[in-house]
Amino acid sequence: MISSDFTAFIKFMSKYVLLALFAVLLSIPPAAYYVYKLRQVGELLYGGDIAEFNRQGKKILWLSGYYSAEHHIKTSIAKRLSPKVVALGSSRVTQITGKVFNKLKENEFYNMGMVVYTFSEADDAVEELIKVKKPELIIFGLDWFFFEQQSDGTSIRERIKNSLPDALYFFIADYNTYVIYKKEFLLSQLYILQNAWKDPFFYDALVSLNSVEAVSGRTFVGLGARRIGGFRNDGSMRYHQWIDNPVQYDKEQQFQIIEKAGKHRGNYIIKRELNKFRRFLSLCVKNNIPLIIILPPIDDYFYYKFINDKHRQKFWKEFPVTVKQIAHEYGIALLDYTNTPISENSGEFLDFDHISEVLYAKILLDMAKNDETKKLLSPYIDISKLESDIEHHPSLHDLHGD
């Protein structure tokens, strides 16, 4: 038999549980309204939301003001669009525009730049695309910083790591990447919910919904797009702050920042990363996906700083030769544009290792004429039209004015 004291306790707890439940129910409408308003300005959008703009034919510039949404949702967007040609890599390939592939229709090219910062992410992106429809061609921007290290691999920690079988090493790397990826995404969504309401820019955006970028006429989606520029429907990046107000960056100052941070310094190639590179190539070959690999340019000033530095020199001499040999083992073309003569002036660089869309158009034009790659690119690029577009570009950072 339940004592009278316990019965009273149950009544007391029931009362407060009901009150708490009532408070939660009361909070749902304002919370839902808050999320609705965030989505109105282009935050908390996902792959299906962005792909829907493409299906509707609505020209947009999208970029979150709070986290790297592109890193997390571009693969989802590409899966929904099923493009024939994909540019895949880090932020260093985001200036490849769909209009360069002038034989393709709308949505048949997609730029998946900023998706890949590890080979685990590269493998995952390709595997996800294959689940829906494999692309006819992937242009992959291979970054040197995947491979560079300061250690010669003789430390105890490095020896232990290198003693692991490839299968186990890859499993750990893939798992770590997956966990970090999911954790970053979850925390970023919580961050938006916790902080957007305190941001005056959020309220400014609510007042000017459907505002457009003056030159391109594209609708802003996300607070980041309003601030600095954003991704077009084809996934390429339009930096309107550079287009509107091109500024020559201080090269020596940027180099000193790199030096003080100890970044991009190392004389040794990470052997395990070469094996991951092989795994990525095998994935594409196994699935009969044509692949062109490029080493994107870096500014001459930095290239010569690196190549003449005793702490970097060995790496920069060995790296391009090594990865090219591996690519050729798989019958894949690798074109090295690290120190490209195609660039006519330093204004074609946004910073030391990010280039303008005009310079990328010149590189694609060179690739379309190159004996190793012209056959792969001829179904997608009309050389004469691309030459004309390059000749008549509106500015160094703007190939088509959109």
Question: Structure tokens of 168?
Answer: 């186990």
- What pLDDT does 374 receive? 96
Burial (CB < 10 A; 0-12, 13-18, 19+), residue 89, is buried
Question: Structure tokens of 157?
Answer: 């920690």
Q: What is the dihedral of CA 114, 72, 131, 368, to 10 degrees?
A: -10
Please list the rounded mean pLDDT of every run of 10 residues in the chain (402 residues): 60 70 73 90 92 93 92 95 97 95 96 95 96 97 91 70 79 86 91 91 87 86 90 89 65 86 84 94 97 95 91 93 97 94 75 89 96 97 95 82 80
Residues facing 349 on adjacent strands? 355
Give, in order, the Cα–Cα distances in Å from 219 to each of 42, 212, 332.
Answer: 10, 4, 39
Residue 123 contacts by C-beta under 8 Å, 6 or more apart in sequence? 174, 279, 280, 283
- Count the alpha carbons within 13 Å of 176 in the hemisphere toward its beta carbon: 8
Q: How far apart are CA 381 and CA 97, in angstroms?
A: 12
Q: 3-class SS at 220?
A: strand
Q: How far apart are CA 269 and CA 146, in angstroms?
A: 9
Residue 61: closest CA among 180, 304, 230: 230
- What pLDDT does 240 receive? 65
- Strand segments, DSSP code E, in 199-354 are 219-221, 230-231, 237-238, 268-269, 291-295, 333-336
Per-position DSSP letters for 74-113, written without gaps between them? HHHHHHHH--SEEEEESGGGTT--GGGSTTSPTTSEEEEE
The model's pLDDT over 21-51, given as tens digits with 9 standing for 90+, comes to 766 677 678 888 888 999 999 999 999 999 9
Q: How far apart are CA 235 and CA 248, in angstroms?
A: 26
CB 339 within 8 A of CB 303: yes
Count the Cβ atoms, other than its own, within 10 Å of residue 281: 20
Residues facing 336 on adjacent strands? 295
**300 Cα distance to chain centroid:** 24
Question: Structure tokens of 335?
Answer: 């074109």
The average confidence (pLDDT) of the chain is 88
- Strand segments, DSSP code E, in 244-325 are 268-269, 291-295
Q: Indicate the pTM of the whole model.
A: 0.90
- What pLDDT does 402 receive? 81
- What pLDDT does 1 receive? 47
